[in-house]
A and B are shown apart, each in its own frame.
Chain A
Amino acid sequence: MTAPNWEIGGRALGSRLLLGTARYPSLAVLQQAIHASGAAIVTVSLRRESASGRAGSQFWRTIKELGVQVLPNTAGCKTVKEAVTTAEMAREVFETPWLKLEVIGDDYTLQPHPFLLVEAAEALCRRGFEVFPYTTEDLVVAERLIQAGCKILMPWGAPIGSGQGLNNPYALRTLRARYPEISLIVDAGIGKPSHAIQAMEMGYDGVLVNTAVARATDPVQMGRAFGLAVAAGRLAYLAGAMLTQEMAEPSTPVTGTPFWHSAPPEPTK
């Protein structure tokens, strides 16, 4: 694990990659993928448990062995009441006030419900949660979430699990420019390491990925690829990219070029 270089939610962490834990071929692959990615935060969830099954306890032991920070989510919640109750249950089970707040408003795109999201964020910030709201790139919703007490925002890149990348780079850039002091993490829709680099080069503080790693042919290698991509994108942002221009400009110095302008131009016919 790298030395801590990122302050988020009151913790100092060594990686800006957040990794989801769902949809992996097995718990062993999940564990190896997290390790290979270097992710310091992993998202987890709560589901109905049968008394005989105990699948949850086995999963939780696997995650605890890795010593990473967990970020419980409220996946599947559609009302403020459901989100708040799920959050309270998650805080007790996972022993953390961190919460990825999801309140879904549309079944087809899994778009966050902007109004209910703000309402739930207000309730949870009042209850002492560190809320990581999964939101759209909407500026006004962002403003309302910040007013509610959120210090972190997680705008979507594209619909969850779609792998489309950053569908609205303009809005994401605007959000970054508008809120330089807020921790911004692109959550959802990232399909390839190049998408993660793009977000990090824009100055995003982190990237949350799940399906892109879990459903890769080799999730462990892809985990490593995302870890490197996020680090590379961050370095590039800090280094400051050159400005683009329309025309070519020789990168090799022209002074002293052999035969430079020595031949007369070809006569035109």
Chain B
Amino acid sequence: MIIEVNGEKKQLDQQQVLAEAITHWGYECALIAVAHNDEFVPRSRYTAIQLQDGDRLEIVAPMQGG
């Protein structure tokens, strides 16, 4: 299935929860926050979100700002 991550289409071979997908893509140690289909997902719910084909994820991290 195809998941859109930060505007870029990524392939997932099997059904995965958000926590597994994040690890699969290499984000596991990064300080990040996630929105799933425009809804904020608290860290405590990463294992509860089952990803579906066509889902959109925003994965963000601290950055300089004014």
Interface-forming stretch among B12-20, B36-44, B47-55? B36-44
Residue from A43, A56, A88, A211 within 8 A of B61 (CB atoms)? A56
Q: Is the CB of B65 within 8 A of A44?
A: yes
Name the distance in Å between A102's Cβ and chain B's nearest Cβ: 9
Of all chain B residues, the one with the shortest Cβ separation from A75 is B65
Name the distance in Å between A34's Cβ and chain B's nearest Cβ: 12
Name the distance in Å between B61's Cβ and chain A's nearest Cβ: 3
Residues of B within 8 A of A (CB): 6-7, 25-27, 30-35, 38-40, 42-43, 58-66
The 5 closest A-B pairs by CB, nearest first: A45-B65, A56-B61, A20-B66, A89-B33, A49-B61
**What's the Cα separation between A168 and B53 when bound, in Å?**
52
Of all chain A residues, the one with the shortest Cβ separation from B62 is A60
Q: Is the CB of A89 within 8 A of B64?
A: no
Name the distance in Å between B62's Cβ and chain A's nearest Cβ: 4
Task: Give the contacts of A78-107 with B (CB-CB under 8 A).
Answer: 81, 85, 88-90, 92-94
Q: In the complex, what residues of B have CB within 8 A of residue A49's CB? A: 6, 27, 30, 32, 59-61
Q: Is the CB of A89 within 8 A of B66?
A: no
Q: State whether A92 and B33 are in contact (beta carbons under 8 Å apart), knowing that A48-B58, A85-B39 are contacts in the complex.
A: yes
Interface SS, A side: mixed
Of all chain A residues, the one with the shortest Cβ separation from B24 is A51
Q: Is the CB of A43 within 8 A of B62?
A: no
A225 at the interface (CB under 8 A from B): no
**What's the Cα separation between A158 and B29 when bound, in Å?**
40
**What's the Cα separation between A21 and B62 when bound, in Å?**
11
Q: Is the CB of A45 within 8 A of B26?
A: no
**What's the Cα separation between A55 and B30 when bound, in Å?**
10
Q: Is the CB of A21 within 8 A of B34?
A: no
Q: In the complex, what residues of A have CB within 8 A of residue B66's CB? A: 20-23, 43, 45, 73, 75, 160-161, 210-211
A63 at the interface (CB under 8 A from B): yes
Q: In the complex, what residues of A have CB within 8 A of residue B34's CB? A: 89
**What's the Cα separation between A89 and B25 when bound, in Å?**
20
A59 at the interface (CB under 8 A from B): yes
A72 at the interface (CB under 8 A from B): yes
Q: In the complex, what residues of A have CB within 8 A of residue B7's CB? A: 48
A46 at the interface (CB under 8 A from B): yes
Q: List 15 A-B contacts (CB under 8 A).
A: A22-B66, A23-B64, A45-B62, A46-B62, A49-B27, A49-B30, A49-B60, A51-B25, A54-B30, A55-B61, A56-B32, A57-B30, A85-B58, A89-B40, A92-B43
Q: Is the CB of A89 within 8 A of B60?
A: yes
Of all chain B residues, the one with the shortest Cβ separation from A42 is B65
Q: Is the CB of B38 within 8 A of A85?
A: yes
Name the distance in Å between A162's Cβ and chain B's nearest Cβ: 12
Q: In the complex, what residues of A have CB within 8 A of residue B60's CB? A: 46-49, 56, 89, 93
Q: In the complex, what residues of B have CB within 8 A of residue A23's CB? A: 64, 66
Task: Give the contacts of A28-81 with B (CB-CB under 8 A).
Answer: 30, 43-52, 54-57, 59-60, 63, 72-73, 75, 81
